Structure 1
Amino acid sequence: MKKVLRLLLLFLFAFVAYESFLSMKDYPGSSEQVDYELNAETLPTELHPIVAENVEVLKQKTAAKGITIVITDEYRSFEEQDKLYDKGRRTPGRVVTHSEGGESYHNFGLAVDFALQLENGDVIWDIEYDGNGNGQSDWFEVAEIAKDLGFEWGGDWHRFKDYPHLQMDFGLTINDLQEGKRPKHSS
């Protein structure tokens, strides 16, 4: 009987811990309570205004440190996402994404990709480059500034490092977005 009781208590503890985990509202990249609206009929066709505003702030803050960044990708349609997903799978090239159309924050106007721009105008994706000469990688300096602004950085991901990727999820998962939940336009 004691063994059954212990197993029952262990199961109950695991269940309560799992339910608590599922109900958490503090997702990575979001320190605020989820504030969303339901709009399943309309998909965004551009960057969310708060994301766009923070991208401009990021450009200003990095420029103040002697680092110029360019946004190489932002909003992406489902079709564009599918073409990227096909790279390294159905078409030549290396795999650049693990997300099909509708599975990326880019598809909902909540993500951008960046690169560094040199004084001569060349654009590079060198994560070791120290163009401002302060002994730190410019790329990682940009990532830290972006995280301070509320972006989640793909370089922090464990399974697939996506160093150019920055996103603001506003506490919404891809499933939430697929169900029509959208972050409000003001904070």
Structure 2
Amino acid sequence: MKKRKKRGLLLVVIIICIGLLLYIKHVQELKNTPLPTSLHPIVEEKTDKLVEQAKNIGINILITHDFRTVEEQDKLYDRGRTAEGNIVTYAKGGTSYHNYGLAIDFAIKLEDGSVIWDMEYDGNQNGQSDWLEVVAIAKELGFEWGGDWKNFKDYPHLQMDFGLSIRELQMGKRPDGWK
């Protein structure tokens, strides 16, 4: 009877070890997943719809940033720290949804070609902030708005995280339809 218990216990240990090895292999494979090099196709499609729908109500927007490399993100992070300028982000390279092709930034483009970040501007003269009208369209399209964040408010920022955290993206997970 004791031999059966020992064999059973040994079998359980072997199964646990095999499972652990398979899990470790899977995690290592995920970590080796290359970073995207462009916007996710759904984010790109929704961005185009955002620009079009805003234009339909008399608001021209400019996408000021979309996909960013880790190096580009680090340069932005350095602003106001080790480089001249104001702090514009708290996300280092690899910790921004831009680095995974899941985020965009926008601004309002005026008829004279100039670009503004004025959240109270009402260029289409309908009594509502153009900025917040764009945000409302973006939310309807499935974007999350950085202006809703509790800590650092990032008003030009829109993202689609597809339910994935930055940590999961760093580990190599990607949204469906994205390699």
TM-score bracket relative to the smaller structure: 0.7 to 0.9
Residue 69 of structure 1, CA deviation: 0.5
1:12 equivalent in structure 2: none
Residue 41 of structure 1, CA deviation: 2.3
Quick one: distance in 2 between partners of 1:70 and 1:59? Answer: 8
1:153 correspondence with 2:150: no
The aligned amino acid for 1:110 is L
Counterpart among 71, 81, 86 of residue 94 in structure 1: 86
Quick one: distance in 1 between partners of 2:118 and 2:45? Answer: 26
Report the structure, 1 or 2, having the larger helix content.
2
Q: Which gives a bigger RCO, structure 1 or 2 (Cα 8 Å, sep 6+)?
A: 1
State the number of aligned residues: 149
1:82 equivalent in structure 2: 74
Quick one: distance in 2 between partners of 1:135 and 1:74? Answer: 29
Quick one: distance in 2 between partners of 1:139 and 1:161? Answer: 14
Q: Is the 8 A contact 2:31 2:170 kept in 1?
A: no
The aligned amino acid for 1:55 is T
1:117 equivalent in structure 2: 109
Structure 1: 5+ residue runs without aligned partners? 1-37
Residue 184 of structure 1, CA deviation: 1.4
Q: Is the 8 A contact 1:40 1:181 kept in 2?
A: no
Structure 2: 5+ residue runs without aligned partners? 1-29
Residue 148 of structure 1, CA deviation: 0.7
Partner SS, residue 169 of structure 2: helix
2:47 equivalent in structure 1: 55
Residue 121 of structure 1, CA deviation: 1.1
**Pairwise CA RMSD of aligned residues?**
1.2
1:168 correspondence with 2:160: yes
Runs of 4+ in structure 1 over 6 Å off: none
Quick one: distance in 2 between partners of 1:61 and 1:93? Answer: 33
Rg bigger for which structure?
2
2:61 equivalent in structure 1: 69
Residue 93 of structure 1, CA deviation: 1.0
Alignment identity in percent?
63
Q: Is the 8 A contact 1:39 1:182 kept in 2?
A: no
